[in-house]
Amino acid sequence: MKSLQHTLFVSLIVVSLTPTYHGVEIIGGHEVEPHSKPYMVSIQKDECGKKSNTHYCGGALIRSGWVLTAAHCQSKGSIRVVLGAHSLSRNEKSQQKLQVKEQHPHPQFNKKTKENDIMLLELSNDAKINKDVKLLQLPKDKDADVKPGTRCTVAGWGVRTAKSNSPSDTLREVMLNVIDRKTCNSKDYYNRKPVVTKDMICASDSKGREDAAKGDSGGPLICDSKFKGIVSYGPRKPTAKKPGIYTLISKKYLDWIQKIIGIQTYNMTTEGFY
């Protein structure tokens, strides 16, 4: 009986966000095949008293010198990204560790309403694209929205249990279903606190046991094999009526990315796409 209870507990996914917006983490789910998601990025920072950098957010490599993540992952100190990783503790030959040259949070990011929770990280050097480090193609603006009921996945190195403060050593993922915005904004769900806008996606499993959470913030939401959203916000305890909220990569954000990077993002070639 204890074994069954333990199994059920570790399968729960909790969505959690710290008051200072230092990210969200996956609890439970399953470990992915090593290096099967070569676009995944671990964003890390120096922690006082610790010998190594600490993972606190996720992201996706969209160009050799640019990572897309959440605006609430912005840090006052220096940060770096780790590419080509499966295990964060092992010295994998596939890993590339690059410093972040500049952080570009969306100028209209609102911590209270969760709106415009998107940020670009400009890397100090270009990543070397290979079998373990590849680009994730941005969506096309004409089909940016995601229909309710769509099956999606989200991956990250976030914590595996609600009581843990340490990230998962290996990359894990969960499966989610998109929920329509009207339902998500209803009194039985978020009751418009915050308001789920047309630039956001609501997603969870049907029983409220699986979702993204602290440490997974900024990671990509993949729907029908397409990059559609960014892990943004969710409640501390798992519940079917408090789904995770994701920033939808809509046309307005594609235009903003184009302005910052200086290229037409949604007509990029698929070179380097996983």
| Alpha carbons 70 and 84: distance in angstroms, whole number | 20
Asked whether 59 and 39 are in contact (CB, 8 A), the reply is no
Could you tell me the pTM of the whole model? 0.83
Looking at residue 273, what is its pLDDT?
38
Looking at residue 248, what is its pLDDT?
97
Residues involved in catalysis: 72, 117, 217
Structure-block tokens of residue 85: 């990783």
Q: Are strands 172-179 and 200-204 parallel, antiparallel or unpaired?
A: antiparallel
Distances (CA, A) of 146 to 35, 128, 185, 189, 211: 26, 32, 17, 19, 17
Looking at residue 205, what is its pLDDT?
76
Whole-number average pLDDT of the chain: 81
Instruction: Tell me which residue of 184, 193, 187 sits closest to 211, measured CA to CA.
Output: 184
Looking at residue 166, what is its pLDDT?
65
Looking at residue 18, what is its pLDDT?
35
| Alpha carbons 186 and 163: distance in angstroms, whole number | 30
Asked whether 231 and 70 are in contact (CB, 8 A), the reply is yes
Looking at residue 52, what is its pLDDT?
66
Instruction: Tell me which residue of 271, 267, 270, 247 sits closest to 258, measured CA to CA.
Output: 267
Looking at residue 136, what is its pLDDT?
98
Instruction: Tell me which residue of 269, 255, 202 sits closest to 233, measured CA to CA.
Output: 202
Residues of the chain with pLDDT under 70: 1-29, 47-52, 142-143, 159-167, 206-215, 236-238, 263-274
Looking at residue 169, what is its pLDDT?
83
For the chain, which domains are there?
39-135+252-267 (2.40.10.10), 141-250 (2.40.10.10)
